Structure 1
Amino acid sequence: MCGFAGYLKADIDPAEGHQVLTRMADAIAHRGPDERGFDLREADGLGLAHVRLSIVGLGDGQQPMHSIDGHLTIVFNGEIFNYIELREDLRQRGHVFRTASDTEVILALYAEYREDCLRHLNGDFAFALWDSRTKRLLLARDRIGVRPLFFMQHGKGIAFASEIKALFELPGVTPCIDPIAMEQIFTLWTTLGERTAFDGIQELQPGHMMIVEDGRTTTRAWWQLTYPRLGDIAPAVPMHQACEQARALLEDAIRLRLRADVPVGAYLSGGLDSSLICALASPLSQGPLNTFSVNFDSHEHDESSFQQQVAQALGTRHRSITCSLEDIANRFEQVVGLCERPILRTAPAPMYALSGLVQQAGMKVVLTGEGADEIFGGYDIFKEARLRRFCASQPKSQRRALLFRRLYPYLHGLQSQPASYLASFFGVGQDRLDDPLFSHRPRMRNTGGTKIFFSEALRHKLKDYDAAAELTELLPDDFKHWHPQDQAQYLEARYLLPGYILSAQGDRMAMAHGVEGRFPYLDHRVMEFAAELPPSLKMKVLTEKPLLREMAKGLLPQSIQSRPKQPYRAPDSAAFQGDFGRALVADLLSPDALATGGLFDPSAVAKLCRKAERAPLAGFRDNAAFIGILSTQSLLRRWVTNRKCNPQAA
């Protein structure tokens, strides 16, 4: 795991190239605290910088790395989990290796297959590879978007980096918030396509490659998540048979992800997904598996009792850290700076604390349970969509609407609401059943309500732009032929997973402490297997992930195996009730700060702040608005407002 940055034919004085690369490397130094390297080729207009976190090939994996013949050069962030098998195959094809690293395998694989090498890789990665013979630059990103890769046009050339902040170190770059990105984030939680929060800076999409050659740039997908058409869905196989196949794939995914020249631990939330990973990883671990958890003072958010049950049952070496309200407020601005985009929840802050605990334990790698909900059907939003369709068949029935209480047993305020309120809140009858975004419309309405705080100037810039309409246009041609369950899962896996969960709560928080997260459920073989499963094996009535529950029998305590899904959440506005939190809010959301930023209506925000001062905000919309505005103002102060006054501000 590492970070890299570079440029090709950018508008940079050759005499300043090394200085620019050094600044870019400094900006992402947290991603690679062990080593750094540079490659500057003035004749080609190429500059490469790399910061390294040593995990595989500790003594000989330095980068930028060159092929034996010197024609190929790579900077690489991530891990290739099947590198041992690939290296053996390449040796049989005549390739010679000088190192034990997975990085050199990519060079040999490219020499053999060119860009088709990507299809052979099982890993989480982003890399830039330069071919000096053809003067060709290849940028590539893993299938589901675990590792980040950003780029921008700079002069007549291109610059790229593992994090946006490195691109801010280029001469002439003035950060500016993209208004379209604001509309997207405050509707969908994430941006769409190649757009980022900053105007002019783009993100290579998951499963995509970019080739820069002869002044031309070509971008295309090399892998796409897809599902069978309704008429092509395979007949339901017996549960035990599907479970055996899924377990074999998942166990092999874990086996590959335990490969490292350093110890590998695991996150343990106490839910089914991470607990199952720990149960399958424990027998493969050398000694007791090291597990790590985050706890909360708030009973509503704390899962420590479940974590202890699993740790005791599996005999893991367990460590936990308690994240208080004050901790969230104290870390908030640092977390936002790592995310490099507005966030609508404080959930990344406890994950930042958790990765710090892993670092304190002297470890660099952890397995995590992310991805299980997206590919095996675990989210409440999937059950919610199914129930909304069910209620639509008898719209006048009051009893059916009461079923919504079953969806969220952990939201106590919902349990006492009458059927009419529940039907209205969940949008029963409000959306067409053939709407491709049917499953996500209630979330979009609830999140989109936060935009009442946008300033008139921002509203004017957005005019009639509709983020949901753009999302609809981006859907695959075959999307309309998929089962509704598969459609809903695609929307989560393709957009929210890489755009928010794997980024804001995953890569950025872990890499802030030099920790690499690995995701067995997101092994492409597991994802492709799950996509082909009949929907009945991913949701049984209103029971989520029946296949994983079956797999957990005999591996986990019954209380965990049958436990209803409780999504990971953290306190939001409540975290800013203390002295430091109140001071931060007063600073970032002052009328002057809001007027300077120009994105929000000071009067409307002032009312929201007064409401939050009296008591923690209760509703989703108000909490999302409060955190979204606060995080946006933090971004503005760090990279936009400050830089207008001081171009060297970090």
Structure 2
Amino acid sequence: MCGIVGAVRLHPGAVLDRGAVEAATRCLDHRGPDAEGIAHHPEFSFGHRRLSVIDLDPAANQPMTDPEGAVFLTYNGEIYNFPELRDDLRRRGRRFRTASDTEVILHAYLEWGPACVERFLGMFAFGLYDRRDHRLLLARDRLGVKPLFLRVQDGVLLFASEIKALLAYPGVPRAPNLAAVSSFLSYRHALGTESLFAGIQQLPPAHLLEVRDGRIHRTRYWDVDLTHRPRRATGEDRAQLKSLIGDAVRRRMLSDVPVGAFLSGGLDSSVVVCEMARTGAPVTTFTASFEGDDYDESPYADQVARHFGTKHHHLRLDAAPYLEHTRALIRVKDQPLGMHNEVAMYMLARELRQHVTVVLCGEGADELFDGYGRIFRTPFERARARLRARFPGGAGMVASPLDFFLDRYSYFPWEEKSPLYTPEMRTAAAGDEACRAVFQDRFDQAAHRSYHDQIALVFETVHLPGLLQMLDATTMAVGVEARVPFVDHRLVQAAFDLPEREKLRWRSPAHFLAALSKEVAEYSEVCDVTKHVLRRLYRHELPPAVLHRRKMGFPVPLTEWFSGPQRDYVRGLLLRPGARVSQVFDPRRLRAWLDAPRPARDPAFGRKVWLVLNLELWLEAYF
């Protein structure tokens, strides 16, 4: 895991500034504290900061080139199947000087060209320059574990692992992308190819970008295969799924430095720890909790740690340092924090860095196995709404499947936020139509599958990249490599090949009938079971209290903070004269919204205030 930087000229008259590339590379020293390297040529200039994980020898430092000096590579990530690929390449006559996965990428490109990425099992973002045909190849892994940002400036294409490295390049202007800001407020990150900075884009997951003769061409090299409908699952299907989970975990334990695991006490991280323990290797686990019984999952984590005999570490968090760290993490991420557990993840990563360099996480399982039970019940909710609309006194027209879903998925819906916007912001946001187009594309891709599968594809390919961006930023801020077994593309495909009832299942016909008269918050995980197949596969291996508990997520008491001890701080920051957020929200309307009466423990309000607060801190830091 590392930080990468690159500058490639798009036409012969463009000039590359080595000093600028060196300065941009130094901006990423937190991502790679172990080594720095620069490869500078008239056509391209690459920078690299290394976090040594595989092959600690300096010979594996980057940027790396082949023996002939024809191809140069700067790379961030891990290729988990590199031992098999290396063996294959050796049989084809390739010779290796190191034991690194970096050199495997080089030789794979020399052997198979850009199509080599289709053979990689892992997480990666890299820039490769081929001097033989003056070609730049940028690549990002299938699900977006590793980030890659881009900008074209004065005839030069710039790329980097983090936006701050692009901002360090001379002449790059700073301006907020207001349409992307509106995306952030509703969906917690910028969707599609946009970033929150005007003029800076991101290479989407599962994409290649090639530059030849000054022309830029972007292609998608992978997507979930939806060509056939799921059939009824068999015992063999479930056994294969469990085998894939085990293999995904084992591959991600490959390391030449100490490895641990985040352990929340929930199902997903407990499954990861179970599979780690199955290998027979010692397992070190880490958990964090907030003071107060309502927000403490640690007893479950402790139980799992005892069950598998792990070396367990527990970190206690409280609100004061949590909010102090928010500003610092925004500077690391170059973006406002959309997810309220980001600071907690960052604080936990700082603690575990004293013990391990690599950590395995349970992220990605909720998207695969319907862990977000309420939102994955959207098809049931819409069918019930249509049924009710047929009776006297019904609500009438029911929204389209996409709009019905977005109404439930959006954190800050257009109907609520747009009246608070300034006229300029409302014009720039343009009704969030660009965001809607991203969702529409995914719905269209799965149009021949069920409504449930359309939603699942959104979660896997639109929602998940934002979550992974958070994970990358919070861990790499302190030089920790986070690995996510449930984001293995083989496992993703296997999950999409399962029928819905293997993931989200009614407990009985009676529970289904009971749900017809209840709100989703009342029946979710009471009348149904989320992640059914995971619970079934690990029913004999996990403690019952963990196996059957409801989803909690990483609990952060936002509403309690913002209605109590942090209320004056938030109001003072957002409503003060000169508040940066006034370019987005009309101050008078924002004040009225903050002061409006609402239920004492309305979690949705706390999440919205968190988004607005972070937007203010980000605007203050960068503009």
SS for the counterpart of 2:55 is coil
Q: Matched residues in 2 for 1:227 and 1:620: separation?
A: 36
Shift of 1:532: 0.9
- 1:149-168, Cα deviation, whole Å (9 max, x unpaired): 00011112210000011100
Q: Equivalent residue for 2:47?
A: 49
Q: Matched residues in 2 for 1:616 and 1:333: separation?
A: 29
Q: Structure 2: any 5+ residue segments left out of the alignment? A: 507-527
| Aligned AA (1:180) | A
Q: Equivalent residue for 1:454?
A: 421
Contact preservation (8 Å) 1:382, 1:489? no
Q: Matched residues in 2 for 1:94 and 1:383: separation?
A: 50
Contact preservation (8 Å) 1:188, 1:447? no
Shift of 1:484: 1.7
Deviates more, 1:24-33 or 1:112-121: 24-33
- 1:123-145, Cα deviation, whole Å (9 max, x unpaired): 00000001011110000000000
Contact preservation (8 Å) 1:5, 1:25? yes
Q: Matched residues in 2 for 1:547 and 1:147: separation?
A: 28
Alignment partner for residue 324 of structure 2, among 317, 326, 330? 330
Q: Equivalent residue for 2:36?
A: 36
Structure 1 residues 474 and 132: CA distance shift in structure 2, 3 A: same
1:561 equivalent in alignment to 2:547: yes
Q: Matched residues in 2 for 1:221 and 1:602: separation?
A: 43
Q: Matched residues in 1 for 2:396 and 2:601: separation?
A: 26
| Aligned AA (2:460) | A
Shift of 1:4: 0.6
Structure 1 residues 591 and 624: CA distance shift in structure 2, 3 A: farther
Contact preservation (8 Å) 1:608, 1:626? no
Q: Matched residues in 1 for 2:127 and 2:255: separation?
A: 23
Q: Structure 1: any 5+ residue segments left out of the alignment? A: 399-419, 641-650
Contact preservation (8 Å) 1:591, 1:602? no
Q: Equivalent residue for 1:205?
A: 204
Shift of 1:585: 5.5
1:235 equivalent in alignment to 2:231: yes
- 1:424-461, Cα deviation, whole Å (9 max, x unpaired): xxxx87743x5235434223275432344322221133
1:343-492 counterparts in 2 under 5 A? 343-361=337-355, 363-392=356-385, 394-395=387-388, 431-432=398-399, 435-444=401-410, 446-448=412-414, 449-475=416-442, 477-492=444-459
SS for the counterpart of 1:300 is helix
- 1:186-223, Cα deviation, whole Å (9 max, x unpaired): 22223222101111000000000100110000001011
Contact preservation (8 Å) 2:442, 2:454? no
Q: Equivalent residue for 2:152?
A: 153
Normalising by structure 2, we get a TM-score of 0.90
Shift of 1:576: 5.5
Shift of 1:473: 4.0
Structure 1 residues 476 and 386: CA distance shift in structure 2, 3 A: closer
Structure 1 residues 345 and 582: CA distance shift in structure 2, 3 A: farther
Contact preservation (8 Å) 2:76, 2:126? yes
Alignment partner for residue 619 of structure 2, among 636, 641, 645? 636
Contact preservation (8 Å) 1:346, 1:571? no
1:223 equivalent in alignment to 2:222: yes
- 1:267-297, Cα deviation, whole Å (9 max, x unpaired): 101111110110111121532x000111111
Q: Matched residues in 1 for 2:567 and 2:134: separation?
A: 52
Q: Equivalent residue for 2:509?
A: none
Q: How many residues align?
A: 599
| Aligned AA (1:601) | D
Q: Equivalent residue for 1:303?
A: 297
1:240-259 counterparts in 2 under 5 A? 240-259=235-254
SS for the counterpart of 1:148 is coil
CA RMSD of aligned residues (A): 2.7
SS for the counterpart of 1:592 is coil
Normalising by structure 1, we get a TM-score of 0.87
- 1:379-407, Cα deviation, whole Å (9 max, x unpaired): 12344314303523642799xxxxxxxxx
SS for the counterpart of 2:127 is strand
- Percent identity of equivalent pairs: 32
Contact preservation (8 Å) 1:147, 1:507? yes
Shift of 1:535: 1.4
Contact preservation (8 Å) 1:264, 1:365? yes
Shift of 1:611: 6.7
| Aligned AA (2:35) | E
Q: Matched residues in 2 for 1:394 and 1:63: separation?
A: 61
Shift of 1:618: 3.5
Contact preservation (8 Å) 2:580, 2:619? no
Structure 1 residues 450 and 342: CA distance shift in structure 2, 3 A: farther
Q: Equivalent residue for 2:169?
A: 170
Q: Matched residues in 2 for 1:242 and 1:211: separation?
A: 38
Q: Equivalent residue for 1:405?
A: none
